[in-house]
Chain A
């Protein structure tokens, strides 16, 4: 309780800060977007705000800030380019795929080295896969490697003896043919497997430092060896991490000499530090967005992140099993007002579950299913009447489960008010803390639940598999639709990329228009304050960013004079 009182107050004072600062006149430096093209220059040091990692082990991690850190210092066989296509990184070329699509052979570049000078070999990559599939390491993203032969069996061997675990590890479908060749065996042909090989849970392990999958990653990250564009040269817990250029990186050498992450959790204060010139990049305080837009018209960058938040509905609870009820609720949500007035323009309204750009559609086509499920009070009332509750009569009181945060409260209050005014139905708002809310969600103990999905990799399957197939491990709202199941089973191992994408497009349409567990409401935006001298950040802001703009490719950042 206390926490949010002071946060709200902080917001108020931040506003005062902005007014004061604006009144005193802020010297604008030149070189905003659209200046004459300047050539990237080598050298320079910057300090940016970041969020501290929880684990530095890429074969264990699942948090965005962890993966953000790791991308600075580790790289995989492939990486996604700016257009989200996999291109060789440590690999010499694209993989050779067998005729049945189940065997991938990858050659790595010759002469690869870790930052400490040790050779980086094929077996380091094999060890990375083994480590992620290792039940003792309990890697949180193991499920993305389910299709590698034996990975699931090994990962499920939690209670087995060490000898049995070793036997299962030996059966894994990954091996080093020689020092520079790796072979992967898959259970089914998987069209997205090369994309999976760009991801952190497949990155190599410096086995000269961490010899086997059960050995914990060193507590001090400076003791590791790295194969990415930077190395960790200093780490002060809760305070900062310093990265310097890795001379042994196999890709284009980083422009900047040094990047310091300053760990700051309070964006009000990081924005003050940005004003005072102590930071080159900071996360904008989203509760104060309109004032920041005034204060920093050229320095504030807002762009869509691959996150969809919707109103999730428990389909096992009556009357939410009735499509007309779900339609009525969805049509009673004025998404534009929610985005603009309640959430201060920090989000962008939508009616599609999978973001348009992931489906290969125009990114501005946010109102794909506006006609069927978008805001329309008249059609909402009609749907509720068709469900047998004319003017809300006899409709049971539902509850909205939210976590204790200012944004969640505002959203819930807004929904409650809309449902009352338009549909004449009552909902309760149930406020719990974040872990309780998550627990209730995974157990399916909820009725209405504002929540959603953040993309792991830019492919429509990542938005659908496990989330909407009957019995899917993340399908906590119990979506079960034979047509959706059928399409997913066809698309999942379909190596015809175009056909596969069409199938997922259809699945997305069914999910969104049938509200199979979730009525999409908005996509989140990322808001970042950027010093205009720092280049290569704005230009590379994509859906791959973890925390800051362009942090998937820090080797491309540079500082103009």
Chain B
């Protein structure tokens, strides 16, 4: 297990390097630079700006400078905000992580409960309700859902605020969490239901029932645990996605997270921020995949590394 972990973690280094290199050259190949503005700048201003941010140097020199910075954890300066990229990410990531964790908990608890209940009471009203909810959750995009939630709960009922995120203040938490968590909830519910249905037909469930265990014990101890593996597989990438923020939800509720940073950076050709956010996403996904692989071993004793 330890060697496996060390090997996996060491593999992050070439992964990060490869992603950084590809992104670096791709973004410099795209036409237009950070100072190509709607209102054009005079040539001398352009020259001084490029000097200030080392953009006047040959591309390979810039690449070398970037790699040197990366090795020391310095991602350089954001052109659009005149501050270090690492500072910006450090400021914004906590909000995305808070929101992401809340949305993930909402999705996981809701999705599992819905999926398990639906499978246990197959073809009942609960099951139909869960299928309908899962279908709606999966097919209604979150920006549409967000607009409806705001219309109903903020403007009509006045229960929640229209804007913002503040941990601990329910008026500012519920709508972003539901908007962000509904799609993963639906996905988890569907996968759980399907997986539970399969497990409930297994011989060992019949054995458990034959032993005279209560239905609750059968489901919770024997079925759910085995049904979790497919859920875990999708939960990892879902969590990685939620933690690194959502462009649409953060923009809509005006939450200063890291989700908006990536799209903004690309539109502004903010090279430092593009690299910073790309690497953040890459590392988050790699780490979550590792966590999923480890948790397989915990859930399923047959899996060993």
A266 and B151 contact, CB distance less than 8 A? no
- Measured as residues with beta carbon below 8 angstroms from the partner, the interface class of chain A is 35 or more
A166 contacts partner chain B, Cβ-Cβ < 8 Å: no
* A229-277 interface (Cβ within 8 A of B): 236-239, 262-266, 268-270, 272-273, 275-276
A-B pairs with the 4 shortest C-beta distances?
A: A238-B256, A435-B32, A438-B36, A138-B48
Q: Which residues of B contact A474 (CB under 8 A)?
A: 40, 42
Distance (whole angstroms) from the CB of A29 to the closest CB of chain B: 17
B158 and A441 contact, CB distance less than 8 A? no
Best-buried of B33, B41, B164, B248 by chain A (most CB within 10 Å): B41
With A219-B83, A435-B34 as given contacts, are A62 and B39 in contact (CB-CB < 8 Å)? yes
B49 and A138 contact, CB distance less than 8 A? yes
A278 and B45 contact, CB distance less than 8 A? no
* B249-284 interface (Cβ within 8 A of A): 251-257, 260, 263, 267-269
A143 and B45 contact, CB distance less than 8 A? yes
Closest chain A residue to B261 by CB distance? Answer: A238
With A158-B48, A272-B150, A276-B158 as given contacts, are A442 and B36 in contact (CB-CB < 8 Å)? yes
Could you jot down 27 A-B contacts, CB within 8 Å?
A6-B143, A13-B144, A13-B147, A17-B147, A17-B150, A17-B151, A20-B151, A20-B156, A54-B81, A55-B82, A62-B39, A136-B48, A216-B82, A219-B83, A237-B256, A262-B254, A266-B251, A270-B254, A272-B154, A275-B155, A276-B161, A433-B267, A438-B37, A440-B31, A441-B40, A442-B36, A453-B39
Distance (whole angstroms) from the CB of B257 to the closest CB of chain A: 8
Choose among A54, A269, A278, A435 the residue that contacts B33 (Cβ–Cβ < 8 A).
Answer: A435
B155 and A21 contact, CB distance less than 8 A? yes
Q: Which residues of B contact A62 (CB under 8 A)?
A: 37, 39, 41
* A421-470 interface (Cβ within 8 A of B): 432-442, 451, 453-454, 466
**When each residue 57-72 of chain B gets 1 if its CB lies under 8 Å from chain A and 0 otherwise, what string results?**
0000000000000000
Q: Which residues of B contact A439 (CB under 8 A)?
A: 31-33, 36
A473 contacts partner chain B, Cβ-Cβ < 8 Å: yes
Choose among A262, A263, A436 the residue that contacts B31 (Cβ–Cβ < 8 A).
Answer: A436
* A17-44 interface (Cβ within 8 A of B): 17, 20-21, 24
B267 and A473 contact, CB distance less than 8 A? no
From B87-95, B119-127, B129-137, B234-242, the one touching the partner chain is B87-95
B38 contacts partner chain A, Cβ-Cβ < 8 Å: yes
Closest chain B residue to A6 by CB distance? Answer: B143
Q: Which residues of B contact A236 (CB under 8 A)?
A: 256
A410 contacts partner chain B, Cβ-Cβ < 8 Å: no
Question: How far is B151's CA from A10's CA once the two chains are assembled, in angstroms?
Answer: 12
With A20-B156, A156-B44, A269-B163 as given contacts, are A438 and B32 in contact (CB-CB < 8 Å)? yes
How many B residues have CB within 8 A of the partner chain?
56
Choose among B51, B141, B144 the residue that contacts A135 (Cβ–Cβ < 8 A).
Answer: B51
* A392-416 interface (Cβ within 8 A of B): none
Q: Which residues of B contact A142 (CB under 8 A)?
A: 44-45
Given A143-B45, A273-B162, A435-B36, output 7 extra A-B contacts at Cβ < 8 Å: A54-B82, A138-B48, A239-B254, A269-B163, A272-B155, A435-B269, A438-B40
Question: How far is B156's CA from A21's CA once the two chains are assembled, in angstroms?
Answer: 8
A124 contacts partner chain B, Cβ-Cβ < 8 Å: no
Distance (whole angstroms) from the CB of B156 to the closest CB of chain A: 7
A16 contacts partner chain B, Cβ-Cβ < 8 Å: yes
Q: Which residues of B contact A14 (CB under 8 A)?
A: 147
Q: Which residues of B contact A276 (CB under 8 A)?
A: 154-155, 158, 161-162
A285 contacts partner chain B, Cβ-Cβ < 8 Å: no
With A138-B49, A138-B51 as given contacts, are A266 and B267 in contact (CB-CB < 8 Å)? no
Question: How far is B266's CA from A434's CA once the two chains are assembled, in angstroms?
Answer: 10
Q: Which residues of B contact A266 (CB under 8 A)?
A: 251-252, 254
Closest chain A residue to B256 by CB distance? Answer: A238
Q: Which residues of B contact A262 (CB under 8 A)?
A: 163, 254
B73 contacts partner chain A, Cβ-Cβ < 8 Å: no
B43 contacts partner chain A, Cβ-Cβ < 8 Å: yes
A237 and B40 contact, CB distance less than 8 A? no
A476 contacts partner chain B, Cβ-Cβ < 8 Å: yes
Q: Which residues of A contact B150 (CB under 8 A)?
A: 17, 269, 272
B170 contacts partner chain A, Cβ-Cβ < 8 Å: no
Question: How far is B35's CA from A439's CA once the two chains are assembled, in angstroms?
Answer: 9
Question: How far is B81's CA from A275's CA once the two chains are assembled, in angstroms?
Answer: 31
Question: How far is B151's CA from A14's CA once the two chains are assembled, in angstroms?
Answer: 9
Q: Which residues of A contact B30 (CB under 8 A)?
A: 436
Question: How far is B34's CA from A442's CA once the two chains are assembled, in angstroms?
Answer: 13
Q: Which residues of B contact A54 (CB under 8 A)?
A: 80-82
A158 and B51 contact, CB distance less than 8 A? yes
With A17-B147, A435-B268 as given contacts, are A140 and B155 in contact (CB-CB < 8 Å)? no
Question: How far is B91's CA from A298's CA once the two chains are assembled, in angstroms?
Answer: 40
Distance (whole angstroms) from the CB of B149 to the closest CB of chain A: 11
A438 and B163 contact, CB distance less than 8 A? no
Question: How far is B150's CA from A446's CA once the two chains are assembled, in angstroms?
Answer: 43
A125 contacts partner chain B, Cβ-Cβ < 8 Å: no
Q: Which residues of B contact A451 (CB under 8 A)?
A: 38
A16 and B151 contact, CB distance less than 8 A? yes
A237 and B88 contact, CB distance less than 8 A? yes
B143 and A278 contact, CB distance less than 8 A? no
Q: Which residues of B contact A440 (CB under 8 A)?
A: 31
A264 and B163 contact, CB distance less than 8 A? yes
Question: How far is B253's CA from A80's CA once the two chains are assembled, in angstroms?
Answer: 37
A9 and B45 contact, CB distance less than 8 A? no
B47 contacts partner chain A, Cβ-Cβ < 8 Å: yes
